[in-house]
Amino acid sequence: MGALTLRVFYRRRLRPLVPWVSALVVILLLISLYLLADALRSSTRYESLYLWLLGFNVVGVLFLLGVVVANLWRLVQSVRAHVPGARLTTRFLGAFVALSLAPVAIVFYFSLDFIQRGIDSWFDVRIEQALGDALELSRASLEVRMREALRVTTRVSGMMADTDAEHAALELDTLRRETEATEMTLFGAGNMIIASASDDTQGILPARPSEAMLMHVRQGNDYIGLEPAQLDRLVIRVLTPMRGYGLNSGAGSLGDPEGGRTGLSGLRSETWLLQAMFPVDPRLATLATSVQDAFHQYRELIYLRHGLKQNFALALGLALLLSALTAVWLAFVAARRLSAPIRELALGTRAVAAGDYSLRLPVQRNDDLGLLVRSFNTMTARIAESTEEAHRLKEDADAQRDYLETVLQHLSSGVLTLDEHAQVRHANAAAATMLGVSLDELQQSSLHGLCLVHAHLNPLCEALHAWLDHEGVVELGQEVRLFSESGRRILMLRGAPLAHDMHSGEEGGLVLVMDDITAIIQGQRDAAWSEVARRLAHEIKNPLTPIQLSAERLRRRLGPVVGEEDGKVLERATHTIVQQVEAMKHMVNEFAEYARTPEFQLEKLDLNALVRDVVDLYRGGAVRVRRDLAEQPLWVDGDTGRLRQLLHNLVKNAVEALQESGVTSPAGPTVTLRTRLRADEDGVELCVGDNGPGFPPELVEHIFEPYVTTRPKGTGLGLAIVKKIVEEHAGRVHAFNPAEGGARVLILLPAAAVPS
């Protein structure tokens, strides 16, 4: 959290200040570079300012380097992240840096070469010799003047030897004027001023000699020296003893305050000193000073020659770094400013590509890029209007399509749209149910592919291919029969060609409407059989009783009167008549049962318990009847009597079929009743099967119709009644021959709620 807060603080507060701080640093660096170059002209300034200026320049250059590196890092990250405008900024930056650094590098190279050559040109041997000669000449001139001053002072000392103390000051002033000295002073013992004369009327005391000068004179030497005076002038100081008097007497010594007479004549035991100050010609002094300063500066430059080269090179290098870093930084700024509109356009283009047409870019320029931004805003505004209109039209189309889709999905008729190659474009759920395939599989397949996977669809494919291949046929109206594991379906096909394919724009194709008329035809057939059965039961049952009664009356009347042989014939004939009448009555009763409207007594019952009761009745017979029941109770709403009749009919038909077929299976003839819960169908499944020869293939389609039987003694009403009972319980029944052999009758009844 702390790092995130610092990052946000830097982006919001510190980053906007970086350009201003960088500009201030550049200005300060320029000033410091100027001061550094100026300091190099003077050794005094150089020594006092160089390190400070150099340190400031290094810190400033490092700051600019950090700014440039930070900008470069941001640019690299932007390029890696594919930020719009980053690569264009990189190209601009490269061009600006190349255009700015190349001239700066050339100027740096030649400037450095000129500086090196210029410094080397300063140190010519002839210049050094000329400066030395000039210095020697100025020194010689000064020495001549100093020797002249010494000679004059010595002469004055001799002239003052016979002067007494009372007249010494007057005589000394006279001699000063004659010798053009600025000051003459007579010092006695203890460096005491005896007399003094000076042209400076404002001066109070003359300049006293130093202890070093007195030490030099005590050693018997004259002192002469060149000293600075006021107003940048030079004076010659001469200090000489009063020769011939105090110097050779043993009564005292120079600077001894004891003994000796006071006075310049007579016997004097102390040594007095005469000091004279002579002016030096100002022009000569100026020239001498100038020559000496120039010579010293030249010697200093010789000493600092390599250091100057290095420091000038360093200053020039700092200037180069400052120029280069400033150029790179300004290149970053310029590149960003130039690429900013293009970057905004790229972002805007991405937004438009993502579907955001409400974006409007700020127009901050009046040049060509500004015109481009305004054009972009105009374009997005028009696209937004067009998109809104297209969206509205799409919503209308979607609403219309949803309406048609809803209508198609709730139609009981199946609807298919095919292209001219029999590729399914659209199908509804009713069509998938009628064809016995899933809706997804139907919508993603061609008719030919469906027929390859589902063989029961071959009649439909043949009819459609014949229609598509036949020229001149405008509409289709055909009945198709499909046979699958779920049973027989009779479909009524009605189709019409499509003039134009709205999806691909291609010509051809057709729309096919299918109606499942199986139930209608079966209902018509069942109604017809019911009417036949009702009429037969009524028309046949009426004469059966008189026939039976007449046969029995004949047997009773004629039996006693005919002979034995004729009596046997009569007995057999009447017995046959009565037996066949009973059979006819049984058949008529079955017809009546098939034709009558049932009266249900629905109750909640366990199908497993009902199957157990029925199977127990067939134990011990020649045909083995076994059960395979679900683990949990299977509850249905049904009539116990009708469902028991259904089970008896199925088991009885299977047992009789196995007995008549003579099954030779190792397990023997077996009838199996299996129950299962069908969660996918929300129903209960009852399957009755045997291991016999199965149903004849040609009769499977009609096995549940009246008078359809595979047994010589069968009436053909058992399975018809089974089908009727199943339909009375809102179920479905299906007969088929499994691949492993035998016959199967599969019944699916609606499941009931589990009783509390």
Judged against a pLDDT cut of 80, whether residue 182 lies above it is answered with yes
pLDDT of residue 260: 39
pLDDT of residue 384: 81
Name the most confidently modeled range: 65-74, 105-114, 160-169, 390-399.
390-399
670-678 vs 624-628, strand pairing mode? parallel
pLDDT of residue 259: 37
pLDDT of residue 672: 93
pLDDT of residue 31: 65
pLDDT of residue 232: 67
Placement of tokens 């300049």 in the chain: 207
Taken in order 280, 281, 286, 287, the sign of the CA dihedral is negative
Type of residue numbered 573: A
Write down the pTM of the prediction: 0.37
pLDDT of residue 459: 78
Taken in order 37, 43, 44, 46, the sign of the CA dihedral is positive
Type of residue numbered 443: Q
Helix ranges restricted to H, 200-281: 211-218
Name the most confidently modeled range: 191-200, 258-267, 294-303, 677-686.
677-686
The set of long-range contacts for 129-132, using a CB threshold of 8 Å and a minimum separation of 24, is: 131/291, 131/294, 131/295, 131/298, 132/295
pLDDT of residue 22: 61
How far is 456 from 483, CA to CA, in rounded Å?
6
Mean pLDDT of 632-657: 89
pLDDT of residue 143: 80
Token pair of 461 as six digits: 């494919």
Distances (CA, A) of 345 to 86, 151, 364: 13, 99, 13
Judged against a pLDDT cut of 70, whether residue 256 lies above it is answered with no
Judged against a pLDDT cut of 50, whether residue 257 lies above it is answered with no
Taken in order 550, 556, 562, 563, the sign of the CA dihedral is positive
* pLDDT tens-place string over residues 612-643: 999 988 888 888 899 999 989 999 999 888 89
* pLDDT tens-place string over residues 226-248: 888 776 678 888 888 875 444 33
Placement of tokens 């149903």 in the chain: 695
How far is 311 from 73, CA to CA, in rounded Å?
33
State whether residue 89 is helix, strand or coil. helix
How far is 659 from 713, CA to CA, in rounded Å?
12
pLDDT of residue 748: 93
State whether residue 474 is helix, strand or coil. coil
* pLDDT tens-place string over residues 433-479: 777 777 777 777 777 777 777 777 777 777 777 776 765 556 777 77
Burial of 100 (0-12, 13-18, 19+ CB in 10 A): middle
The class that CATH gives domain 603-750 is: alpha beta
How far is 611 from 607, CA to CA, in rounded Å?
6
State whether residue 444 is helix, strand or coil. coil
DSSP 308-344: HHHHHHHHHHHHHHHHHHHHHHHHHHHHHHHHHHHHH
Torsion of CA 593, 594, 599, 604, to 10 degrees: 110
Token pair of 678 as six digits: 């069908």
Query: How distant is the alpha carbon of residue 740 from its chain centre?
Result: 60
* pLDDT tens-place string over residues 311-327: 677 677 777 777 777 77
Choose the CATH number for 411-516 among 3.30.980.10, 1.10.3720.10, 3.90.950.20, 3.30.450.20.
3.30.450.20
DSSP code of residue 13 = I
Q: Do domains 143-280 and 603-750 have the same CATH topology?
A: no
**C-beta of residue 168 within 8 angstroms of C-beta of residue 186:** yes
Distance separating the N- and C-terminal Cα atoms of the chain? 61
For the chain, give the mean pLDDT. Answer: 75
Of the listed ranges 37-41, 104-108, 486-490, the least confidently predicted one is: 37-41
DSSP code of residue 742 = S
* pLDDT tens-place string over residues 503-521: 445 556 778 788 777 767 7
Q: Helix crossing, 305-353 with 282-303: angle to 10°?
A: 60
The percentage of residues in the chain with a pLDDT greater than 90, rounded to a whole number, is: 5
How far is 447 from 431, CA to CA, in rounded Å?
13
Token pair of 196 as six digits: 């003094």
* pLDDT tens-place string over residues 382-418: 888 888 888 888 888 888 877 877 777 777 777 777 7
State whether residue 221 is helix, strand or coil. coil
743 CB-near residues (< 8 Å, 6+ apart): 654, 657, 689, 690, 692, 693, 694, 695, 735, 736, 737
pLDDT of residue 676: 93
Segments of 508-608 assigned E as strands: 510-516, 603-606
pLDDT of residue 251: 32
Placement of tokens 């479905």 in the chain: 732
Taken in order 463, 469, 471, 474, the sign of the CA dihedral is positive
How far is 464 from 481, CA to CA, in rounded Å?
13
Choose the CATH number for 143-280 among 3.30.2420, 3.30.450, 3.30.40, 1.10.3470.
3.30.450
Residue extents of the structural domains in the chain: 18-121+300-348, 143-280, 357-402, 411-516, 523-595, 603-750
How far is 356 from 707, CA to CA, in rounded Å?
74
Segments of 386-475 assigned E as strands: 414-418, 424-427
- Residue 333 φ then ψ, to 5°: -60, -45
- 451 has which bridge partners? none
Mean pLDDT of 590-600: 63
- In 3D space, the residue among 30, 26, 46, 47 whose CA is nearest the CA of residue 38 turns out to be 46
Judged against a pLDDT cut of 70, whether residue 499 lies above it is answered with no
- In 3D space, the residue among 732, 745, 706, 699 whose CA is nearest the CA of residue 595 turns out to be 706
Judged against a pLDDT cut of 50, whether residue 99 lies above it is answered with yes
| Largest separation between any pair of C-alpha atoms in the chain | 237
Mean pLDDT of 261-272: 50
**C-beta of residue 581 within 8 angstroms of C-beta of residue 551:** yes
Judged against a pLDDT cut of 80, whether residue 502 lies above it is answered with no
How far is 321 from 32, CA to CA, in rounded Å?
14
Mean pLDDT of 130-153: 77
